[in-house]
Amino acid sequence: MAFHRAGAEAIKAALAEGGTQLLEPVMAVTVHSPSASVGDVVGDLNRRHGRIARIEDQDGRAEVSGFAPLAQLVGYTTSLRSLSQGRASSEAHLHGYEPVRAA
């Protein structure tokens, strides 16, 4: 265990010294939800380090668009269904790559 930790720290230090950045995939996410669930949807995306780009609300339905790191979206569909009592849906596609956030 100590060997793995030391190896990880050595790699981080080498990358920092060389000016190299570690990138992660970022997904464009669109959520269709009842308007009553929008606050919970936005809060959950924020907890997943998401950035909200747009919220449109019309006739009791909302569309939330934004971006989130792929690694943070593991289990998102299950969470979304729970937040919306099964009435929300989402779609995501690769938007690009961004530097990994500091832990």
Across the chain, which distance is largest between two alpha carbons, in Å? 57
What does the domain layout of the chain look like in residue ranges? 21-99
The fold for domain 21-99 equals: Alpha-Beta Plaits (3.30.70)
pLDDT at 6: 87
Report the distance separating Cα 46 and Cα 68, nearest Å: 9
Q: Round the CA-based radius of gyration of the chain to a whole number and report it.
A: 17
Backbone torsion region of residue 101, taken as left when φ is above 0, otherwise alpha when ψ lies between -120 and 50, otherwise beta: beta
pLDDT at 103: 64
Per-residue pLDDT of the chain (103 residues; tens, 9 = 90+): 788 888 888 887 887 787 788 899 999 999 999 999 999 999 999 999 999 999 999 999 999 999 999 999 999 999 999 999 999 999 999 999 999 987 6
Backbone torsion region of residue 91, taken as left when φ is above 0, otherwise alpha when ψ lies between -120 and 50, otherwise beta: beta
48: how many CB neighbours lie within 10 A of its CB?
18
Report the distance separating Cα 52 and Cα 20, nearest Å: 28
